[in-house]
Structure 1
Amino acid sequence: MNKHTIIGMAGHIDHGKTALIRALTGIETDRLKEERERGITIDIGFAYWLDNVTIIDVPGHEKFVRNMVAGVSTVDLFLLVIAADDGVMPQTREHLDILKFFGVRSGIVALNKIDLVDEEWLSLVEEDIRTLMEDNGFMNVPIIPVSAVSKQGIDRLEAELKSAIARTERPENDRPFRMPVDRSFLSRGFGRIVTGTVLSSRVAVGDTLQILPAGDECKVRGVQVHQKSVAEASAGQRAAINLSGGEKSKPERGSVLVPPGSMDTCRELLAVIHTTAQLPYRIKRHQSAHVHLGTAEYLAKMTWYEEDSAMNPNQTYHIRVRFDEEAVAAPGDPILIRSFSPVTTIAGGRVLEINPPRLKKNETDWAEYCRILEGDSLNDTLRLLFDHFGYRSVTTGDICRKLFQSEDRIQSLLTKMVRQKTVHRFEYQDALHFIDAKKLEEAVGIIRQKMEQELNRQKAKRGLNFGELFNILKPYRVSEPFLQRALAYGVNKGLLFKENEYYSHRDMAAAGERARLQNEVEQIYLQNRFSPPDLDTVAAQLEKDVKDIKTIALDLARQEVLQSIGGKYYLHRQVINDLFEFLRRHFSKNERIEIAAIKSFVDSTRKYVIPLLEFLDNKGYTIRQGDARIKGNRL
């Protein structure tokens, strides 16, 4: 038996849990004076059995269920103690709910105090217990009749426990070291001692740890397992750790020890829970509740995504919990919900995500989101999170802290995603960052759209610098590393253009050359006034392809810089305006104007004058009367 196994006691007050531990191990777990005087367990106690078994004694009184929860949060097997003379009692049922919600499915029922009842009564009680266990999903659980006082049945109980321990499998766990603290005290000559169950990895003398949620760091001065000093403690073992430093945090029950920077704390989390068969009262949204995570208890408010206005018994809900303070949890952790007042267990389940994004019912398929988180695929979870990271880049460390996973495991998944081109990897300030490929493409499209809007508004500007773009994109919550990568990606793909420190949705160098050419074409038409050259002549003069000149002339016409005269040739808008001004002055003194007067003003040949007169008539600037013109409506 080389693995370490933790057995958690459970059961109603005065059903003999502590006495049964004493009968098994010879150890008295009631360590408080008040416990010994009152004959009840108030806080959790510990006993060591065989070489690698820890038995945790928990209180059965309803007032101390919070301590019971701290005790069973990390056990492998349960030993449910039920007194034969009392049978199933309220705390029996509540403790069974708690075991179920914490995922402790393997165990044994010790039917204690059989020396106080006859065989017929014992048979009835045993049948009640079997029905209770099966109704709660605990099938084929051994029920062992014992007496902690006379030691009757203790040998059989020991044999059954050893058999159960041999069958117990602790799931493989490659997460970083984590130990929730269930006891914390000062020892003369040693200083701060904390105890708990190592949930993952290992801790060794000399290691630096972080105390969450406070965040202070401390050093490991010594480690004990089964009251023996060891070099290290590993997953599944009960450990006592002597700490130096971190006194500002005052580590206490509910604190969690982890490697520095390996885990995020949270103010909100998502969880999937199942309610008990009987709820104490109508549980509505946003009501306060006691939330148990590991050895910690928090006050929080919760809501759920299902349609029910109030929780119903025996139903599954996907809840969002908002804590009154910083909490410590990781995806997959058991969670227990107890009503605020009167305090009783109402639901339990497991954590899906810490610090989750906003999931609005009308915008997000929350059911699909939660379904993926409930699955066992870390790869699918990672893809989902990338989608909800939005327009922000993340580092390997960011993901490791959010999911509480080892760097090697996350790095392996990220490398695979980069190869599949679903994620982009880039370096920013000496750290590797990662971006969802689809979000990157979306971002470039948004950047182009915003650039076009802004540069059309500020026509004098050729481009926008990084700071201007960052401010414009603030509503999209774009991070600086993400924007830097998006700009570089857009430039590389030819979707964006950069000149010095400025970015544009169009090629600024080409745009500059085009603007210069447009200006030259415009000047030609200004200089030639009413005798403009045709496009072939302009192209030859500027040594450009006539197609390019035609495109520029059309652009200038769309901008109303040039005016097409009946499709024959172009005049500059300023030249046309000069003609309009001449005609207005003339008509202010005369009713008619002769062609000779117009020809004299424009100083041009018949080739240009005739199309010009037709243009003036067709557009309503003049009206033809014989060989003369009178004022039209548009002049």
Structure 2
Amino acid sequence: MANIVIGTAGHIDHGKTTLIKALTGIETDTTSEEKKRGMSINLGFAYLDLPNNQRVGIVDVPGHEKFIKNMVAGLPGINLVLLVIDAAEGIMPQTKEHIDILTLLGIRDFLIVLTKVDTVDSDLKELVIEDIRDQLADTPLAEADLIETDAVTGTGIKELLEKIQAHSEEVPERSNSGSARLNVDRVFSVKGFGTVVTGTLLDGAITVGADLYLYPSGKKTRVRNIQVHETDVKSAQPGQRTALNLANIATEEIQRGDVLSVSEKLEDTWMLDVKITCLPDVDGGIGLWDRVRLLIGTREVMARTVPLGVDWIGPGEEGFLQLRLEEQVAVKERDRFILRSYSPMQTIAGGEVLDAAPHKHRRFKVEILESLKAKEEGSLDELITDFMVNKKQPFTKEKVLLEYLGVAKEELQPVLTEMAAEDRVIETSVGYLAHASYQKLVSQATEILSAYHKQYRLRFGMPLEEFRSRMRGVLAEKEISALIALLKKDVVKEANDKLALQDFEVTFNKYQQAAKEKIEQTLAKNGYTPIKKEELFDIDKNAVEVLEALNGDSVIFLTHEYVLLGEIFAQAVKLVQDYVAEHGQMTLGDFRDLTNSSRKSSMLILEYMDKQEITKRVENYRVLGS
């Protein structure tokens, strides 16, 4: 059964708080100021037990114009809204703004609750109902059920409960695959327990004992206790109104608008790429660098607007914006928000976050607009591709995709499998790699190795460690290993811990070829006795660069100083393997006798074999390596 949160909306004094008390028995006006003034200033919370014993949360939001930001703060996670209208007054200006806000936030499920019906005569009531239907004809509330109620006499309360229950049974359960997130809407201290915060849990579950990270401060805290509807529970599920008792953090270190998440990788950002809908009656629309109030989650921050692809977004129009914020926020893609004018404060637009951590854009760049359109309208595979191609890190773990997309693993996995089969993504041990991202890495690797080949024409390739160091600014160590494995299938070859492009071959001119033959002849004549490389440099003026080119090919560098002919080393390996196979082990003296070489020469060769794991030294003898 899905977790349901119901919100109320409507003009001041139209009876929202009284209605909730009649439904639940809970008084949501709790502060002395609220009781004195007779209006809801802050968010009020209650819960309701339906006839089928399902318990749902209720958020009673303020109706007065001055408290609109508090009203918006209560809406994240809302499943159903009760639009409360006084039977004697009908729709008022504040009612209209609430409807605009709710519509802009993407809420489509409403019940219209006509209150105080027993205080008016039937003719006036019918006129008010007719006017309500006329004014809501072009809104998502056009077909909403209207229930006549009176909280004082009890009229319609039973019918309203039945309507709420019928709706709750149709709400699908939320996916539990993301990283749990809670927008803090209240903070207080309970004697003997410490800091407590409340909010509607989004995206995933939270359990007692879990570590949470507070944004934007980055402080770490721990969940000491959880309450849902005033009952202690071991875990809270997405969609539930939740109270968290937190350890290791003071009340003054948290404020409403902060975000708590189990993820330590939620990004604070100064910018947001968004899609907005501008209200039809907004004077002048939204232009470049307008100062606005952004209401998102439970926060209000000031921002500047940068229209993308157009000079301005007119009344009643949709468009893309980049919001440049005056304070950092921690939000996610698909979060909804409201924009209000700086002064006078009026709701002007609302929409959805498409990119929660973008870079600054040129306003009319085609690639940016195409990316935003993909984020807005794209199918799941298009969203995956767009995210993977445009994020900073090329490799993407499945967990990151689940958090970004907000879908269940069962929905994501078949799409990734199909994309991999079509070579649109590559699955590796460290995550998925979009084909376009891989091609960029191929180009980068090709450029690095091409420059190396051009500078060192007689070397087989770049030392592997040097290549890894060049890629460390882009990839983590395990990602570099995964990339090299992919590159070896397509564009590079590896030998002796060196990387080269597959089509690269060392080519000697006639002078270098002559030097090569001299070096190899000298080493062959020396047999199992390694030679210092400086001694070979005297053979020919081209010997220095030629010897470097032969390293790992026909010449083995036993150390940075001593070299041996590759064929001789191969013969030495065969001698050792045959001897150990017959005798079980070999000493330094045994090898010296077999090769008729000096103790020093034998030690150099055997120690190199140890390094290559051909042999393994045990005390004063050797066995074959693993």
Residue number in structure 2 paired with 1:515: 508
Instruction: After TM superposition, list the pairs within 5 Å mapping 1:97-496 onto structure 2.
Output: 97-247=100-250, 250-261=253-264, 263-307=266-310, 309-356=311-358, 360=362, 364-375=366-377, 377-389=379-391, 392-396=394-398, 398-400=400-402, 402-403=404-405, 417-426=419-428, 432-449=430-447, 451-452=449-450, 456=454, 478-479=474-475, 486=483, 489-493=486-490, 495-496=491-492
Offset of 1:21 from its aligned partner?
1.8
The aligned amino acid for 2:340 is: R
Partner SS state of residue 147, structure 1: coil
The aligned amino acid for 1:347 is: A
Distance 1:32 1:398, change over 3 A: same
The aligned amino acid for 2:433 is: I
Offset of 1:135 from its aligned partner?
1.5
Q: Deviations over 1:67-97 (max 9, x none)?
A: 0111122211111112233322221011101
Partner SS state of residue 198, structure 1: strand
Q: Deviations over 1:273-306 (max 9, x none)?
A: 2111211554212323222222222222232324
CA contact (8 A) 1:209 1:217 kept: yes
* Counterparts of 1:507 and 1:150, CA distance in 2: 89
* Counterparts of 1:173 and 1:204, CA distance in 2: 13
CA contact (8 A) 1:110 1:146 kept: yes
Offset of 1:45 from its aligned partner?
0.6
* Counterparts of 1:401 and 1:182, CA distance in 2: 23
Residue number in structure 1 paired with 2:571: none
So what's the TM-score if we normalise by structure 1? 0.71
CA contact (8 A) 2:333 2:354 kept: yes
Q: Deviations over 1:518-552 (max 9, x none)?
A: 5357999xxxxxxxxxxxxxxxxxxxxxxxxxxxx
Distance 1:173 1:128, change over 3 A: farther
Offset of 1:497 from its aligned partner?
5.3
Offset of 1:478 from its aligned partner?
4.2
Offset of 1:465 from its aligned partner?
5.6
Larger radius of gyration: 1
* Counterparts of 1:396 and 1:296, CA distance in 2: 30
Distance 1:523 1:277, change over 3 A: closer
* Counterparts of 1:523 and 1:253, CA distance in 2: 76
CA contact (8 A) 1:66 1:297 kept: yes
Residue number in structure 2 paired with 1:32: 31
Q: Deviations over 1:111-150 (max 9, x none)?
A: 2233454433322221221122222232321223333344
Distance 1:467 1:225, change over 3 A: same
CA contact (8 A) 2:306 2:321 kept: yes
Distance 1:198 1:388, change over 3 A: closer
* Counterparts of 2:457 and 2:401, CA distance in 1: 43
CA contact (8 A) 1:29 1:46 kept: yes
Of 250-259 and 339-348, the range deviating more from structure 2: 250-259
Residue number in structure 1 paired with 2:45: 46
Alignment RMSD: 3.5
* Counterparts of 2:254 and 2:393, CA distance in 1: 38
Offset of 1:49 from its aligned partner?
1.9
* Counterparts of 1:446 and 1:222, CA distance in 2: 51
CA contact (8 A) 1:176 1:262 kept: no
CA contact (8 A) 1:263 1:400 kept: no
Partner SS state of residue 252, structure 1: coil
Residue number in structure 2 paired with 1:75: 78
Partner SS state of residue 512, structure 2: helix
Q: Deviations over 1:550-596 (max 9, x none)?
A: xxxxxxxxxxxxxxxxxxxxxxxxxxxxxxxxxxxxxxxxxxxxxxx
Q: Deviations over 1:320-370 (max 9, x none)?
A: 223333322222222222222222211122222322356656654444423
* Counterparts of 1:30 and 1:523, CA distance in 2: 93
Residue number in structure 1 paired with 2:6: 7
CA contact (8 A) 1:176 1:404 kept: no
Instruction: After TM superposition, list the pairs within 5 Å mapping 1:556-567 onto structure 2.
Output: none
CA contact (8 A) 1:107 1:164 kept: no
Offset of 1:191 from its aligned partner?
0.9
Distance 1:286 1:75, change over 3 A: same
CA contact (8 A) 1:465 1:503 kept: yes
Q: Deviations over 1:213-266 (max 9, x none)?
A: 333232222222221222322233222221212338823322233224364443
Distance 1:211 1:473, change over 3 A: closer
The aligned amino acid for 1:519 is: Q
Distance 1:44 1:499, change over 3 A: same
Which of 86, 91, 96 is residue 93 of structure 1 equivalent to?
Answer: 96
Of 437-446 and 205-214, the range deviating more from structure 2: 437-446
Distance 1:413 1:255, change over 3 A: farther
The aligned amino acid for 2:36 is: E
The number of aligned residues is 512
Partner SS state of residue 185, structure 2: strand
* Counterparts of 1:241 and 1:480, CA distance in 2: 36
Partner SS state of residue 31, structure 1: coil
Distance 1:135 1:522, change over 3 A: same
The gaps in structure 1 that reach 5 residues or longer are 525-635
The aligned amino acid for 2:424 is: T
* Counterparts of 1:501 and 1:242, CA distance in 2: 55
So what's the TM-score if we normalise by structure 2? 0.72
CA contact (8 A) 1:98 1:348 kept: yes
Partner SS state of residue 349, structure 2: strand
* Counterparts of 1:304 and 1:118, CA distance in 2: 51
Distance 1:225 1:438, change over 3 A: closer
CA contact (8 A) 2:175 2:204 kept: no
* Counterparts of 1:392 and 1:211, CA distance in 2: 27
Offset of 1:411 from its aligned partner?
6.8
* Counterparts of 1:499 and 1:264, CA distance in 2: 42
* Counterparts of 2:106 and 2:120, CA distance in 1: 33
Distance 1:236 1:362, change over 3 A: closer
* Counterparts of 1:265 and 1:113, CA distance in 2: 46
Partner SS state of residue 72, structure 1: coil
Distance 1:280 1:145, change over 3 A: farther
